[in-house]
A = this chain, B = another copy of it.
Amino acid sequence: MRRHKEPEVRKSEILDAAQKLFIEKGYAKTTVTDILNVHGLSKGVFYYYFKSKEEVMDAIIGRIVDASVNNAKKIVANPQMTPPQKLCAILMGQGQTEEMIKDRENIAHQFHEAENAEMHQKSLVQSIKCLAPVMAEILKEDNGANTFSTDYPQETVALFLAAGQTIFDEGLFSWSGEERARYGAAFIEMIEKTLGVPAGYFKDVIKIFA
């Protein structure tokens, strides 16, 4: 006899099964039936939780974005880190578990398949929307003589995220090592100047994480 499972557990099981299939078979080629077959579920159970395969993908993206937002919140709350260290840590994706990175990479690989560009866009938009308010808190912190100066903390970090996540996306641009290094330097210059801290301020912080 099938044990009765908590709705959240069941939902999470469906998401795990779907995520695995999307990575292995591709999003377009995976059917709702494929997802159901993993745990022998009925269509009724599936449609109780989700309207469509697209909604499953949205929920998977939501989980990945939530994980990175929770990670960012931990960094913001860390009393041992200075504001620039926090900002760089989040921009560079520090502090994420191996599982988080693997999940994101696997899904990102799917994003770069032609038919999955939509998920890629959704994930970019969600991560900008959710990370910007968390990161904006860092810009408001007291940072002594180098307190960040911007009248638009949330919008400014959103612009940084949009620029960085587009230009450094290896599925979109295939830069040479030299080009990548120049873009990295230009990105840091832009952040330093926009936040009104001395040139090289973030460069030193980034070395700590390198």
Residues of A within 8 A of B (CB): 54, 114-115, 117-118, 120-121, 124-125, 128-129, 150-152, 155-156, 158-160, 162-163, 166-167, 172-173, 182-183, 185-187, 189-190, 193-194, 196
A186-B150 contact, Cβ under 8 Å, with A162-B167, A167-B162, A196-B193: yes
Q: What would 11 A/B residue contacts be, using CB atoms closer than 8 Å?
A: A120-B121, A121-B172, A125-B172, A151-B189, A152-B189, A159-B183, A159-B190, A162-B163, A190-B190, A190-B194, A193-B196
**CA of A19 to CA of B166, assembled, Å:** 27
Interchain CB contact under 8 A, B182 and A152:
yes
Q: How many copies does the complex hold?
A: 2
Interchain CB contact under 8 A, B159 and A186:
yes
Of A54, A114, A117, which is in contact with the most chain B CB atoms at under 10 Å from its CB?
A117
Cβ-neighbour of A193 out of B128, B162, B193 (below 8 A):
B193
Residues from chain B with Cβ under 8 Å of A167 in the complex: 128, 158-159, 162
**CA of A114 to CA of B55, assembled, Å:** 13
Nearest CB on B from A128, distance (A): 8
**CA of A115 to CA of B116, assembled, Å:** 8
Cβ-neighbour of A185 out of B129, B151, B158 (below 8 A):
B151
Nearest CB on B from A31, distance (A): 17
